[in-house]
Amino acid sequence: MSLTTEVALTHISRRASSLLPLLSAVIVGFTVCGLIAKAVGLSPLLMLTELIKGAVQGPQLFETIARAVPLTGMALAAAIPLRAGIVNLGADGQMVLGGCAAAIIALYLPAPDIVRLLVALLIGAGIGGAYAALAAAGEILANVPLLLSTWLLSYPARGLCGWLVRSPLRDPITAWPSTHRISAGVRLANLIPGTPINQGFLLVALAAVLIVFLDRRSSVGYELRLRGLNERFARYGGVALSRQTTWLMFVSGAMAGLVGAIMILGSQFRFTDGALTAPQYTWSGVLAALLAGGEPLGTVVAAVLFAALQTGGFAMERSVEIPRVLTMVLESIIILFLSMRGAIWRRGR
């Protein structure tokens, strides 16, 4: 084995085992944003304090948690396949299908409220999963790259749901194309009165704990991890890659579908065209998963951090008129800096 591979390997293991790079990336990100703020005549210190206050002070903390719920869910949806080296870019479509299906069942299933709620969650997850598995089938049977199929399949899903709420399911009294309002009994209950935190928080937290546990302790998680490190090795050892890809995509899509259902049943109460995708949880989630290299616990941490940055950014813009786009710059710099490190380090040797 050549020396360069050895250096690269120790580099990878060091990267995985240390928080230092993440920390330094965050510091560099804040520094650069501070400099930008200063350059345009804003106070960097003010920016920082407003950002932190906006993320965690008083009721803002609940805003952050409420935002972290769907963001973490979507981050996990991206992280599950990424752990095995597979990218799901179609979580938008899977989430929208899940949300739309959940709304339809919550509105029209002839059954008691609690049954309607549970079935809505289950079907929402199931349909998102099935739709993602379709992309897997495309790769296995026809060699369509998942990167492409997941992403492109997102559009027909969104288009279909948009059409549904425009004509057959439309609530005529709303300005936006959306379904009727889901009755109170079929909603996810509020957990802390006066805050936007509902039972969806518990569902996502449960999913996160389960995923972290399975990743670390189960045979299945072990196979995923080794596949992510060397797919050829996994195959050589007897892992049925196609079957694994299929159920992996199903679980990933189900997670996205569940997030869609949670948002409909927990906070939006009706399916409105474009409302689920507008906050771009999918893409923040993909970034969080990439940042952690698919490792679930790291993904959760990154997702919560992004949620805090985003709510902090909104608050900062409202209170001191520092544009929120600076927080997006911050996010980007952190990620760019982390991806760049490899090259810098290698040259240093």
Partner 1 sequence: MAFLEMIDIVKRYPGVLANDHVDLEVSKGEIHAVMGENGAGKSTLMAILYGLQSPDEGYIRIDWKTVFFRSPIDAIEHGIGMVHQSFKLFESLSVWENVVYGREPRRGPFIDAAASRRQVAALAERHGLPIDPMARVGSLPVGVRQRLEILKALYRQVRVLILDEPTAVLTPGEVAGLFRVLRTLAAGGCTILLVTHKLNEVMAVSDRITVLRDGRVTERLLTAQTNAAQIVRAMTGRNVLLDVASANPHPGAVRLELKRLVVGGLGRRAVNDVSFTLRGGEVLGIAGVAGNGQSELVEAIMGMRPCAGGNIVLNGHDITLRSIAQRRAAGVSYIAEDRIRTASAAAASATDNLAFGFHRRPPIAVRGLLRISEMRAWARTLIRKFEIKIASEMTPVGTLSGGNLQKIVIARELAHDAPVLIAEQPTRGVDVGAIEFIHSELMRERDRGHAILLVSAELSEILALADRILVMYEGRVIAALDRAEANESILGLYMAGGEQQAS
CB count, 10 Å around CB of 103? Answer: 31
Q: Which is nearer to partner 1, 1 or 175 (CB)?
A: 1
What's the min distance (Å) between Cβ of 85 and partner 1?
Answer: 12
Q: Which is nearer to partner 1, 38 or 243 (CB)?
A: 243
* Contact pattern from residue 126 through residue 155 relative to partner 1, giving x for each residue in contact according to CB under 8 A and a dash for the rest: ------------------------------
What's the min distance (Å) between Cβ of 9 and partner 1?
Answer: 4
Task: Choose the stretch contacting partner 1; rule: CB under 8 A; options: 5-13, 179-187, 263-271, 304-312.
Answer: 5-13
Interaction between residue 4 and partner 1 (CB under 8 A): no
What's the min distance (Å) between Cβ of 98 and partner 1?
Answer: 27
Distance spanning both ends of the chain, measured CA to CA:
17
Torsions phi, psi for 104 (to 5 deg) = -60, -45
Decide: 132 and 88 in contact? Cβ < 8 Å: yes
Interaction between residue 236 and partner 1 (CB under 8 A): yes
CB count, 10 Å around CB of 5? Answer: 9
The owner of tokens 């209950």 is: 189
Interaction between residue 10 and partner 1 (CB under 8 A): yes
Interaction between residue 1 and partner 1 (CB under 8 A): yes
Interaction between residue 35 and partner 1 (CB under 8 A): no
Interaction between residue 3 and partner 1 (CB under 8 A): yes
Q: Which is nearer to partner 1, 193 or 349 (CB)?
A: 349
**Distance separating alpha carbons of residues 91 and 131, to the nearest angstrom:** 10
3-class state of residue 87 by DSSP = coil
In the region spanning residues 176 to 235, those forming contacts with partner 1, defined by CB under 8 A, are 217-220, 222-223, 225-226, 229-230, 232-233, 235
What's the min distance (Å) between Cβ of 239 and partner 1?
Answer: 7
Q: Which is nearer to partner 1, 26 or 241 (CB)?
A: 241
- Length of the chain, in residues: 349
What's the min distance (Å) between Cβ of 229 and partner 1?
Answer: 4
**Distance separating alpha carbons of residues 248 and 223, to the nearest angstrom:** 12
Size of the site for partner 1 (CB under 8 A): 29
* Contact pattern from residue 12 through residue 31 relative to partner 1, giving x for each residue in contact according to CB under 8 A and a dash for the rest: xx--x---------------
What's the min distance (Å) between Cβ of 297 and partner 1?
Answer: 16
3-class state of residue 303 by DSSP = helix
What's the min distance (Å) between Cβ of 8 and partner 1?
Answer: 8
| Residues 6 or more apart in contact with residue 146 via CB below 8 angstroms | 86, 87, 88, 135, 136, 138, 139, 245, 249
**Distance separating alpha carbons of residues 185 and 187, to the nearest angstrom:** 6
Decide: 111 and 232 in contact? Cβ < 8 Å: no
3-class state of residue 300 by DSSP = helix
**Distance separating alpha carbons of residues 290 and 306, to the nearest angstrom:** 13
**Distance separating alpha carbons of residues 226 and 239, to the nearest angstrom:** 10
In the region spanning residues 101 to 120, those forming contacts with partner 1, defined by CB under 8 A, are none
Q: Take residue 266 and report the two structure tokens written for it.
A: 């927990």
Which one of 115, 155, 237, 280 is in contact with partner 1 (CB under 8 A)?
A: 237
- Rg of the chain's alpha carbons, rounded to an integer? 21
**Distance separating alpha carbons of residues 87 and 78, to the nearest angstrom:** 7
Interaction between residue 6 and partner 1 (CB under 8 A): yes
Interaction between residue 9 and partner 1 (CB under 8 A): yes
| Residues making contact with partner 1 (CB under 8 A) | 1, 3, 5-7, 9-10, 12-13, 16, 217-220, 222-223, 225-226, 229-230, 232-233, 235-240, 349
